[in-house]
Amino acid sequence: MDGNKKVTIVAHSGDFHTDDLFAVSTLLIYLGENVNVEILRTRDMSIIEKSDYVVDVGGIDNPDINRFDHHQKGGAGKRENGIKYASFGLVWKKFGKDICGSEKVAKKVDELLVQPVDAPDNGISIMKPTFYDIFPIDLGLLTFIFKPTWKEDVSKTDDIFRSLIPYARGIILRMVNYSKDFIEGQELVEKSYEETADKRLIVTDSGYPWLETLSKHPEPLYVVYYNKRDDTWSIKGIRDNHLSFIYRKLLPESWAGKNGEELEQATGVLGGVFCHNHRFMAVNKTKEGILKMAEIALNS
């Protein structure tokens, strides 16, 4: 794209939300650093109609002309799981693959980042609180706390919106990189699973994202992996569901909460570092040591 041509991106004026902030930030990533971009916050239709990209305002959803609103009657469609598109999702649906380099990565980013923004913007709850007065900190809250409070000057809203764009861009770009590595790691874990004879114990040579992958298979009880940060090896229990904290098999009770020599005495294996008090994980200094501990745990 010609870097000398000014490109205009319009979002609505007044209060801002996470979906329009992240929609604008996504467009800036797509357009690149060398494009001359002007960001306008307005509801003036004469300005909107002349703009290159319009998000969350204007009453039109038409990706062919880069109009990405979902407030019109009937909305702007929904995903197969029922979560409706907000402006972030509409922009991501068109440009996510180009930003990520693959449809698979773009889909993962949509699941991890975009849908959790689109859902509440459309009045869809995706979380049920366990405690009445405690709620998880999500992107919606992290955006909300930067907006002027009732005691602060609302005339600064546009400046605050613009100041948050680098924050939003950073999160999007980091999520893209995370999703790429996550998918590659999952594939390596799946390969290890397929090549393992005794599928109760899966051994990997790095800290790949194994939780979701191995929970889908019925056989694995433990996973062993290498910790490159401190040159140790870990064993962890596999959960029945990667979203729960119910483990298929805990480590032996006699290991619970023990460290160093005390753990070595409890296991009879040299190199013991520690075992978590809740018995879902333990660490050894060597691969040989952690595999001996895994054998004991499997037969306990």
- What is d(CA 207, CA 237) in angstroms, rounded to the nearest whole number? 14
Amino acid identity, position 21: L
One pLDDT digit (tens) per residue for the chain, 300 residues: 555 679 999 999 999 999 999 999 999 999 998 899 999 999 999 999 999 999 999 999 999 999 999 999 999 999 999 999 999 999 999 999 999 999 999 999 999 999 999 999 999 988 877 887 887 788 888 898 889 998 998 999 999 999 999 999 999 999 999 999 999 999 999 999 999 999 999 999 988 999 999 999 999 999 999 999 999 999 999 998 877 889 999 999 999 999 999 999 999 999 999 999 999 999 999 999 999 999 999 999
Question: Residues 73, 30: contact at Cβ < 8 Å?
Answer: no
Predicted local confidence at residue 139, as pLDDT = 86
Q: What is the pTM of this model?
A: 0.86
Give 94-103 pLDDT, tens digit per residue.
999 999 999 9
Which long-range CB contacts under 8 A does 241-248 form with residues at least 24 apart? 241/215, 242/211, 242/212, 242/215, 247/280, 248/220, 248/221
Instruction: Enumerate the β-bridge partners of residue 259.
Output: 274
**Cα–Cα distances in Å, from 279 out to 114, 131, 158?**
35, 25, 51
- What is d(CA 133, CA 142) in angstroms, rounded to the nearest whole number? 18
Predicted local confidence at residue 2, as pLDDT = 53
